[in-house]
Amino acid sequence: MKNLMAFCLALLSWPVLSQSIQGTWQLTDTKTCFQSEMKESDTEKELEGMMGGKSNASVAKLIVFKKDGSGQEAIFSAGKKKGSDMTNFQYKISGQELQFTDKKSGMITRRFVIDELTESSLKIHDAVKECETKSFIKVK
């Protein structure tokens, strides 16, 4: 019975393990707990579409996962080579959990659960707050 359960768990985590998180990812959608719980009316959805929505095409938040376990997170503006608010971090993946660690101490600073990892998309949620989600698309 234990072997069967272990096999089932391994099959569930297979899609996450079969893809690589390495590369450059652009944040396409983020939801806080408040936004996740709030339901928009049809009128609000219609008005949001007319007002241009929530996105600003000239600014993008990118996160880069490198092969060596390091990464960078920054906000880039159109026409600028260097990003602002640049943050360097170390990361590791443990099962379906993405962990950001402090470079010097090795202490885990942020934890996310990988909900979906494909060749072109990444969806994660905060390990502590399941209702805080982030969606990314692969750009490089």
pLDDT of residue 49: 60
**3-class SS of residue 127:** coil
pLDDT of residue 11: 44
**3-class SS of residue 16:** helix
The continuous run of DSSP H or E covering 71 comes out as strand 70-77
d(CA 55, CA 2): 48
pTM: 0.69
Please list the helix, strand and coil fractions of the chain in percent, rounded to the nearest 5, in that order.
20, 45, 35
Opening angle at CA 132, ends 22 and 37, nearest 5: 150
**Which CATH number covers residue 27?**
2.40.128.280
pLDDT in tens, the chain (140 residues): 544 444 444 444 444 445 789 999 999 999 888 765 566 667 766 666 666 545 445 788 999 999 999 999 999 887 777 778 888 999 999 999 999 998 889 899 999 999 999 999 999 999 998 889 999 999 98
Structural domain harbouring 35: 2-138
d(CA 21, CA 94): 12
pLDDT of residue 86: 85
pLDDT of residue 43: 73
pLDDT of residue 5: 45
Residue-by-residue DSSP string for 93-124: EETTEEEEE-TTT--EEEEEEEEEE-SSEEEE
Count of structural domains, the chain: 1
pLDDT of residue 54: 52
